[in-house]
Amino acid sequence: MLDDLAKVVEKVGTLLLEWRNSGIFEGYWDGPQFKAKVDYMAHLALTKRLKKIAPAIPIISEEDETSIQENRPDCYWLIDPIDGTASFVGGFPGFVTQAALIKNGHPLVGAICAPVLDLLYLAERGQGATLNGQPLYLSSDRETTILIDNCSEPTGVTRAAYKDLNFLRYIECGSISLKICKIADSTADVFFKNVIVKDWDIAPAHLVLEEAGGVLRNVNGKRITYDGNYKQNGLIAVASQKSCTRVVSWYKTFKKRKKV
């Protein structure tokens, strides 16, 4: 199934490039998120191809409100047709199309395609993760020197983390999923976000990171499972449990300082 899923996200990635070159940028801002016409076009393209792979498996999509039900199926596709729509519309490379197969609250397979960057991340539970066909492996003793986020320079809580945890470099990247994958491929060491994130933003990359040997937790260091209301209490993406413990401890201290 993973090979078929890879072909699906690669094809939708190719369509996204064609659509962007055609200038399809109509849309509107919904709070901090830009909702584009192309989001729904990508939704249709992705769901159509997933149905051909496994017609009986239901699909839950960010772009289909009727699919987002409180009582989830035991097994379903969870998709984000475009993660990083603002990057897509703004002419930046940091957007992806992605899908994960979820069973009993955990991703079993996942695929993320970043078409401009020509990156394809794949993972299957218990079988490892790859980037463009090459295995990903994270060392448990990797130094945490590179922080990643979506602004041109560290701001807010990211700026505090950069200073307090003595990072040496900072990298900008658009998509939430792609930032997690950048931990998995050793481009960066820590991605920290202390606001609500949605399940479809993170599920495929969650599996990639874990299968590479990394760790994804919420801001309190708790395991993330895919059930309930599709919302997660922030995230910490790191190469090792040791790094996760360090970031969780720092954040507890940070919150106490903010209250004083």
CATH topology of domain 146-259: D-Maltodextrin-Binding Protein; domain 2 (3.40.190)
CATH 3.30.540.10 positions along the chain are: 2-135
Query: Are 27 and 143 spatial neighbours (Cβ–Cβ below 8 Å)?
Result: no
How far is the C-alpha of 54 from the C-alpha of 171, rounded, in Å? 38
pLDDT of the residue at 242 = 92
CATH 3.40.190.80 positions along the chain are: 146-259
Residue pointed to by tokens 């950069």: 162
**Contact partners, residue 115, CB within 8 Å, separation at least 6:** 13, 14, 16, 17, 96, 97
pLDDT of the residue at 256 = 85
CATH topology of domain 2-135: Fructose-1,6-Bisphosphatase; Chain A, domain 1 (3.30.540)
The parts of the chain modelled with pLDDT lower than 50 are none
